[in-house]
Amino acid sequence: MTLTDRQQAIVDFLREHIAAEGRPPTLAEIAQAFGFRQARSAQDHLQALAAKGVIGLVPGARGIRLLDDSGEPLATTGPASGIAGGTSAAGAVARASDLLLLPLLGRVAAGRPIDAQADYEGQLLLDRALFFPQPDYLLRVKGDSMVDDGIFDGDLIAVRRTPAAENNQIVVARIDGEVTVKRLKQGRGKLLLMPRNPAYAPIEVPKDADFAIEGLYCGLVRRG
C-alpha cells in the first residue's frame, strides 16, 4: 500500500508518540506537530490513513489504533516508566486477557433502514482497547449517512446490547422491523434518529412505531 510522504510522516509520528507516551496523540497534538492551522486537517489525514487500512479510528480524544499488514490492531504499550508492570513498547504482544472474540452477525444500514441480516458470518479476535464500553457483537455497515462520525460503508461496528441510551449517543435501533445506526436525539416530544451526513434527512420515529434500541455503538474496525 502506497502512502504519500506526509501520510508516512504522520504514521511515523504516531508510532514515536505511542512509544514515548504510551498513548496516541490528540488531533491538536498532531496539528501542532505538522503546522496545521486546524485540528480538522489532522482528522482529514487520519481518515485517509484509515481508508488505506493503516490505522483504525475509534471514539475518543485519542481514538487512534495502529494496524498491522493484515488489518489487525497492533499491541502497543508505553515506556517502562509510564506503564504498570514496565513492559517495553518494542515487540509487545497482546495477552489473551487483552483480546475479545466477537461474532459478526450481519449488516446494518447507515443510509436508510434495511432489514438486518442476522445470519452468523464468523468471529473476529480483536484488541479489547479498541472499544468502550465492551461490545457483544459486530455488525457490517452499509451506506454513508454516518461519515461525519467516521463510520464508512463496509466498516464493522462493535455493539453492546442495551435497550437504553442517552441523548446524542450513536445507537443501533430497530424501527418497524428494520435496523439502522444513527445518533439518538430526544426532545420537545420528538424522537429522532440523526444521520451524520448532510445528504440525508433525520428519521422521525412515529409515536405508534414499533421502535426499540438494540444496542450502543462502542467503536469500529476498518479492514483494508
Q: Which residues are catalytic?
A: 145, 182
Residue 122 CA to residue 159 CA, distance in Å, equals 16
CB environment 48-85: b (16+ within 10 A), e (fewer): bbbebbbbbbbeeeebbbbbeeeebbebbbbeeeeeee
Q: Which residue shows C-alpha cell 422491523?
A: 177
C-alpha cell at 105: 452477525
Provide the β-strand partners of residue 124. 102
Residue 25 CA to residue 22 CA, distance in Å, equals 10
Cα→Cα distances 7→15, 34, 61, 97, 170, Å: 13, 11, 20, 32, 29
Q: Which residue shows C-alpha cell 414499533?
A: 210
